[in-house]
Amino acid sequence: MEILYNSTRDDKVSVTASQAILKGLADDGGLFVPNSIPKLDVSVKELSAMSYQQIAYEVMKLFLTDFTEDELKNCIEKAYDSKFDTKEIAPLVKEDGAYFLELFHGPTIAFKDMALSILPHLLITSAKKNNVKNDIVILTATSGDTGKAALAGFADVPGTKIIVFYPKNGVSPIQEKQMVTQRGDNTFVVGINGNFDDAQTGVKKMFNDKELAKKLDDRGYQFSSANSINIGRLVPQIVYYVYSYAKLVADGQIKDGDSINVVVPTGNFGNILAAYYAKNMGININKLICASNENKVLFDFFGTGVYDRNRDFILTSSPSMDILISSNLERLIYRIAGNDADANKELMNALSKEGKYEITDSMKKELADFVGGFCDEAKTAATIKDLYSKTGYVIDTHTAVAAGVYKDYVAKTSDNTPTVIASTASPFKFTRSVMEAVDGKYASMTDFELIDELASIAKRDVPQAIEDIRSAPVRHDTVCDVDKMQEVVENILK
Ligand SMILES: *Cc1c(COP(=O)(O)O)cnc(C)c1O
- Report pLDDT for 365: 97
Given the CA of residue 271, which atom of ligand 1 is nearest to it?
7
- Report pLDDT for 27: 87
The C-alpha atoms of residue 151 and residue 140 are separated, in whole angstroms, by: 10
Which of 73, 87, 94, 112 is labelled catalytic? Answer: 112
- Report pLDDT for 169: 84
- Report pLDDT for 65: 98
Closest CA to 364 of 339, 340, 332: 332
List Cα–Cα distances, 311 to 209, 225, 303, 328, in angstroms. Answer: 33, 29, 17, 20
**β strands within 3-157, DSSP E:** 5-7, 10-15, 32-34, 92-95, 98-102, 135-141
How far, in Å, from the CA of 106 to the mean position of ligand 1? 15
Pocket of ligand 1 contains residue 274 by CB under 6 Å: no
- Report pLDDT for 4: 98
The C-alpha atoms of residue 89 and residue 81 are separated, in whole angstroms, by: 8
- Report pLDDT for 417: 98
Listed in sequence order, the residues at least 6 apart from 126 whose beta carbon sits closer than 8 Å to its beta carbon are 17, 18, 19, 21, 22, 232
Pocket of ligand 1 contains residue 265 by CB under 6 Å: yes
Q: Is 112 a catalytic residue?
A: yes
How far, in Å, from the CA of 269 to the mean position of ligand 1? 8
- Report pLDDT for 325: 87
Listed in sequence order, the residues at least 6 apart from 473 whose beta carbon sits closer than 8 Å to its beta carbon are 181
β-sheet bridge partners, residue 224: 138
How far, in Å, from the CA of 410 to the mean position of ligand 1? 23
- Report pLDDT for 368: 96
How far, in Å, from the CA of 383 to the mean position of ligand 1? 19
β-sheet bridge partners, residue 167: 192
Cβ atoms 205, 482 nearer than 8 A: no
Listed in sequence order, the residues at least 6 apart from 46 whose beta carbon sits closer than 8 Å to its beta carbon are none
Q: What is the residue with the minimal CA distance to atom 15 of ligand 1? A: 320
The C-alpha atoms of residue 53 and residue 45 are separated, in whole angstroms, by: 16
- Report pLDDT for 115: 96
How far, in Å, from the CA of 21 to the mean position of ligand 1? 20
- For the domain with range 92-107+232-461, which CATH number is right: 3.65.10.10, 3.40.50.300, 3.40.50.1100, 1.10.645.10? 3.40.50.1100
Best probe residue, ligand 1, of 101, 264, 320 (max atoms within 8 Å of C-beta):
320
- Report pLDDT for 420: 98
CA distance between the termini of the chain: 44
Pocket of ligand 1 contains residue 321 by CB under 6 Å: yes
Q: What is the mean pLDDT of each run of 10 residues along the chain (494 residues)?
A: 96 96 90 97 98 98 98 98 96 98 95 95 95 94 84 94 92 85 96 87 88 95 87 97 98 98 96 98 98 97 96 90 91 97 97 96 97 98 98 97 98 98 95 95 92 96 89 93 96 94
